[in-house]
Structure 1
Amino acid sequence: MASRVDAIKRHLAQPNPTSAGVATSEFRYTTDNSGCLTREEREHYEREGFVVKKGLIPQSDLDRYAERFQKICAGEIDSSGMTLMRDVAISKSEFQPGEKAITKLQNFQDDEVLFEYIRHPEIVNVVSSFLGENIMGMHTMLINKPPDPGTRTSRHPMHQDLHYFSFRPADRIVCSWTAMQHIDRTNGCLVVIPGSHRNPGELVEHGYPKWENGVNKMYYGIQDYQPKEGDRVHLVMEPGDTVFFHPLLIHGSGTNRSQGFRKSISCHYASSECEYIDVTGTSQEMLQNEIHEVAKRKLFGKDAVLDQEMMDMIKKEITLSGHWSAKARCVHGKKINI
């Protein structure tokens, strides 16, 4: 126990640069620009790694996002540049039309309607409490978790979001995740491990879970990790409730045991003063390698066989940092590094 306490103390004592002054020794994870967070909320985020703002987004805005999602899935709106994903169980079953076919919409940063969520004043106001004034929207998702067909593939394994990102420092990254309907354990709410952003305070090794019925593409999880039931907190949320959490917080989501799809919308933000890192030789290199394979299929076809010179060119030109740089959008303040 003593070694764990000492590790946490060392972690909290590390320097913490911010884009709005330097965080005090009392608060590491929020900046001086924290007027929209109460002291209790700041203390909760420091201790637990997340904070929930109730009823932050109006129902009228949520309805607008849901309608846009439906039109994109129906092909009424140009989805160029977006990523439309299916659950592995759906992809192996008979064709489902429209939004029933799509379980996740990613990279909607260029859509004029869904971009309204990224720059929503209520969201940005809270995000500035963590990042300061210069804010970049980096990763966008509208999640349409499907009813589980009995395979439990609708689960999302326990993971840390930092595994996907090649920019640092981690403390200047935050996710906003908004419920678009009532969400509880029945339809697969978020599950978090409070305080896991501080202990061990670093990115741990991720990989694909060895699930009997398969796992969705890019749904990485922490290897050989099974938290105790008492360590988990299930976030029951109402429409418009928004949770903000640290990229090292261990979290996932459960099986959707309801008869309907469960919707939420989210964006990861980073201070524009963050910097890109090279993930070569790290546990994140596997993600970069998958991006190379995706690029290969898109450029040359699914069954293309490329020589080493061509693959080396792809690896040189297409990096994880380049991937995020292409998606980054300034939503407040000014663009500096990323």
Structure 2
Amino acid sequence: MTSYKYTKNNKALNDQQREFYEENGYIIIRNNVPHDLIDEFCSRFTDLCENRVPLVKPTVVIKDKSLKNQGYTGQYAVNKIHDFLNDDVLSKYAFYPAVADVVESIIGPNFMGVYSMLINKPPNGHPDISNHPLHQDMCYFPFRPIDTIVGTWTAMEDANEMNGCLFAIPGSHRPGVIYNHVYPNQEVKNQLYYGVQGFENEPRVNFIMEKGDTLFFHPLLLHGSGVNRSKASRKAISVHFADTNSFFIDIKGTPHEKPWEELQPVFKMDYIAICKLKGRHIRGNKGTFHYPSHL
């Protein structure tokens, strides 16, 4: 009988799919989200960028500084919408059964959304802002257990090497290590776009995805994305989920300390309160999401 460490059940994944996730730290489910729902997300993105509908806290629209400086406005200057789990339209993604069922297969039946983004890669942006260096999402999550966290990333438009698709180092989750993250040596500092060094020669795989395909991935998987060199945008919608009984840790002296030092002054509250503000219960028991004093 196969022993599984990184997946919980066969609700939406068969044994072969679970074994692939266990080995590689990710799996792509093709045609996972229907196009009409994605089109609804695209319309909402445009409405939020053009101020046609109000933002619901803590949702925030992030503009690409390089595009703003070139005179672009509205959706053509926006590269992210953060923390949309209270938005009536975009939050449908986190609850969509074909997404949530796979999440349940990976981390179990009780989970909440803890981090959400609609990511836009417009054309003509500065390369240092358009790309995202190799990193681990776990760097940003000051709670445990690590193996009951999973990221999802659904292509809202076809993603390929030309428009800056995701790439990853398969199996890089298995050492169980959160590596040191630093700002890359580049012309433009893109806030919180940290990267890891020393993996330049490791084999990578590019995730060529079509509209509606969803990537599910472990939070320790080393991954990033390239520059959009096309003439069109590249949009994706993403949520990270965690078990509702996840607990916070003391971040002092950990890889989490640096990013949260940057975030706390923006929100004017501590990292625990920020995480709870960003989160929303999705499925199963509501749990505790408590805070012990020990690591």
CA deviation after TM superposition for structure 1 residue 323, in Å = 0.9
1:219 aligns with 2:203: no
Alpha-carbon deviation of 1:80?
Answer: 4.0
SS in 1 for 2:130: coil
Closer, same or farther: CA 69–291 of 1 in aligned 2, 3 Å? same
The corresponding residue for 1:193 is 169
Q: TM-score, normalised by structure 1?
A: 0.82
**Which amino acid counterpart does residue 43 of structure 1 have in structure 2?**
E
Identical aligned residues as a percent: 39
For residue 215 of structure 1, report the CA deviation from its aligned partner.
3.0
1:176-212 CA-to-partner distances (Å, cap 9, x unmatched) read 100011110000000010000013x210111211112
1:314 aligned partner: none
Of 267, 275, 280, 2:239 maps to: 267
Residue in structure 1 matching 2:43, options 45, 49, 67: 67
User: Superposed, which structure 2 residues align to 1:298-309 within 5 Å?
Assistant: none
Residue in structure 1 matched with residue 293 of structure 2 by the alignment:
none
1:326 and 2:277 aligned: yes
Structure 1 segments (4+ residues) deviating >6 Å: none
- Give CA-to-partner distance per residue, 1:201-251, whole Å, 9 cap, x none: 210111211112x132111111x33422x6110000011100100000000
Name the CA distance, whole Å, in 1 between partners of 2:10 and 2:189. 39
Question: Where in structure 2 are the equivalents of 1:1-338 lying within 5 Å?
Answer: 26-31=3-8, 33-81=9-57, 82-91=59-68, 93-149=69-125, 151-199=127-175, 201-212=176-187, 214-222=188-196, 224-228=197-201, 231-295=203-267, 318-338=269-289
Is the radius of gyration larger for structure 1 or structure 2? 1
Does the 8 A contact of 2:26 with 2:217 survive in 1? yes
Give the corresponding residue for 1:19. Answer: none
Counterpart amino acid of 2:218?
H
The amino acid that maps onto 2:274 is H
Structure 2: 5+ residue stretches without partners: 290-295
Q: Partners of 2:153 and 2:246 in 1: how far apart? A: 21
Aligned-residue offset at 1:290: 0.7
Q: Could you tell me how far apart the structure 2 residues matched to 1:102 and 1:145 are?
A: 8
Partner of 1:9: none
Query: Is contact 1:277–1:321 with CA below 8 Å preserved after alignment?
Result: no
Structure-2 separation of matches of 1:151 and 1:267: 25
Tell me the CA shift for residue 133 of structure 1: 1.1
Relative to the length of structure 2, the TM-score reads: 0.93
* C-alpha separation in 2, matches of 1:95 and 1:79: 23
Deviation at 1:293, TM superposition (A): 2.9
Distance 1:74 1:50 in 2: 35
Once the two structures are superposed, residues 46-91 of structure 1 have per-residue CA deviations (whole angstroms, 9 ceiling, x without a partner) of 1000000000100000000000110010101111421211224224
Q: Please give the secondary structure, in 1, of the residue aligned with 2:17.
A: helix
